[in-house]
């Protein structure tokens, strides 16, 4: 295979790597009502059980960076993909809260390890291509989520058993892995490279920005429907339209985001994105009627689309820490934003109201735009 064809195959394989965890998490999202009914747990217990997924991911991310540096991306990504495929059927079979929590912990660890390592792979491929590609890679996570949810919805609406529907999804993920694994990178870091380093300096700064960016995404995921139903009095059956608008806009923007980042640079892309996202949060919070406020969800989707990919690229290209370890640190801090963000917003909403909490999110995004002036890699 020629060098050009090999490089093109590696790029497609990296897109496939992003597709797998997006597809897997969508499979789980469609299984949540079935899991709740099968285990007979209430909402409070379900909330505690769902924390197991986040805990597994948060613990696995630092370890996956160490393993990727020591063993190479390919081995970690293959192992993570296989573990995802092994645990998804368990999510459809677990008959008690503790069994579901245990399977979710392992599933979360596998998804977290894959999420971290695929970003290391993406930075390597982007660096070798000598062009901006990260936004396009991240778009395939969203595409995987959309296709995973659509696949399960179609299969379940055809009255196929839950386990059979899940196994069809697992087969699709296995096929994607088998077709792409040969082109995942297997290079290892030198043995004298430290295997675990606490983030500091520019890497810690990038990680804090990632925390805020992912907090904004988490706000859309967990609170947009609540805001529309409780504050804007939108019927519950329509309240999800805000998140749908946000995620579709973000996916499309990421597909075309590489050209924008290449033209304006990563730092400016972060500034423009944070300003757009902050403006969007203010629009969806303050503009009425709710139909007009949907423009805010579009702006947040456009703004958030390229912030995280640009931050991962910057982490991979800085020279203060080994790239794999820097990306691990940024992934972990970013994921902490997804986990802690909804809780922080809930706390603020309880004391000051949901409108004030959303204005706080907009302020945090404005601080990201302002602080980027000190982001020198």
Cβ neighbors of 101 (< 8 A, separation 6 or more) are 48, 49, 52
Fold for domain 3-183?
Growth Hormone; Chain: A; (1.20.1250)
Q: What is the largest CA-CA distance in the chain?
A: 62
In the predicted structure, residue 195 carries a pLDDT above the cut 60: no
To the nearest 10 degrees (0 to 180), the angle between helices 307-317 and 97-129 is: 70
In the predicted structure, residue 248 carries a pLDDT above the cut 90: no
Range name among 64-78, 81-95, 213-227, 261-275 with the lowest pLDDT average: 213-227
Q: What residue ranges do the domains of the chain occupy?
A: 3-183, 201-374
- Fold match between domain 3-183 and domain 201-374: yes
* pLDDT one-digit tens code per residue, 52-62: 888 898 899 88
Share of the chain above pLDDT 90, in %: 45
Dihedral angle sign, alpha carbons of residues 146, 150, 156, 162: negative
* pLDDT one-digit tens code per residue, 302-347: 999 999 999 999 998 888 887 778 888 898 899 888 877 777 888 8
In the predicted structure, residue 169 carries a pLDDT above the cut 80: yes
What Å distances lie between residue 179 and 12, 26, 183, 281, CA to CA?
A: 10, 21, 9, 40
d(C-alpha 335, C-alpha 58), whole Å: 7
What Å distances lie between residue 72 and 62, 78, 131, CA to CA?
A: 15, 11, 23
In the predicted structure, residue 193 carries a pLDDT above the cut 60: no
In the predicted structure, residue 192 carries a pLDDT above the cut 60: no
In the predicted structure, residue 191 carries a pLDDT above the cut 70: no
Contact assessment for residue 14 and residue 73, using Cβ atoms and an 8 Å cutoff? no
Cβ neighbors of 204 (< 8 A, separation 6 or more) are 329
d(C-alpha 84, C-alpha 1), whole Å: 31
236 or 4, greater pLDDT: 4
To the nearest 10 degrees (0 to 180), the angle between helices 257-264 and 241-255 is: 60
CATH, range 201-374: 1.20.1250.20
Region 150-167: mean pLDDT is 88
* pLDDT one-digit tens code per residue, 117-142: 999 899 889 988 888 899 999 999 98
Range name among 39-43, 47-51, 195-199, 229-233 with the lowest pLDDT average: 195-199
């Amino acid at each position: 295979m020629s060098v050009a064809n090999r490089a093109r195959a590696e790029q497609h394989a990296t897109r496939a790597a992003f597709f797998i965890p997006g597809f897997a998490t969508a499979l789980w999202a469609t299984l949540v009502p079935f899991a709740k009914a099968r285990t007979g747990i209430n909402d409070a217990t379900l909330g505690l059980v769902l924390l197991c997924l986040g805990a597994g991911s948060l613990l696995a991310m630092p370890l996956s960076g160490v393993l990727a540096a020591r063993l190479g991306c390919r081995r970690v990504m293959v192992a993570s993909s296989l573990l995802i495929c092994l645990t998804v059927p368990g999510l459809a079979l677990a008959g008690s809260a503790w069994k579901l929590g245990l399977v979710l912990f392992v599933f979360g660890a596998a998804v977290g390890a894959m999420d971290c390592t695929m970003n290391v792979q993406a930075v390597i491929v982007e660096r070798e291509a000598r062009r901006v590609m990260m936004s396009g890679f991240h778009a395939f996570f969203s595409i995987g989520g959309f296709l995973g949810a659509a696949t399960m919805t179609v299969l379940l609406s055809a009255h196929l058993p839950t386990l059979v529907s899940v196994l069809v999804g697992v087969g699709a993920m296995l096929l994607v892995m088998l077709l792409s694994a040969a082109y995942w990178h297997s290079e290892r870091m030198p043995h004298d490279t430290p295997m675990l380093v606490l983030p500091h300096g520019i890497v810690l700064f990038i990680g804090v920005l990632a925390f805020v960016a992912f907090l904004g995404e988490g706000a859309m995921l967990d609170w947009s429907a609540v805001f529309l139903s409780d504050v804007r009095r939108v019927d519950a059956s329509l309240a999800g339209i805000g998140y749908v608008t946000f995620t579709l806009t973000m996916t499309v923007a990421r597909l075309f985001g590489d050209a924008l980042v290449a033209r304006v640079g990563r730092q400016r892309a972060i500034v423009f994105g944070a300003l757009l996202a902050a403006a969007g949060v203010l629009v969806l919070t303050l503009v009425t009627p709710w139909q007009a406020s949907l423009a805010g969800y579009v702006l947040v989707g456009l703004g958030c689309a390229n912030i995280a990919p640009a931050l991962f690229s910057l982490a991979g290209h800085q020279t203060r820490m080994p790239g794999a370890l820097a990306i691990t640190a940024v992934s972990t801090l970013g994921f902490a934003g997804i986990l802690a963000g909804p809780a922080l917003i809930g706390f603020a909403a309880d004391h000051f109201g949901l409108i004030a909490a959303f204005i706080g999110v907009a302020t945090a995004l404005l601080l990201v735009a302002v602080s980027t002036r000190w982001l020198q890699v």
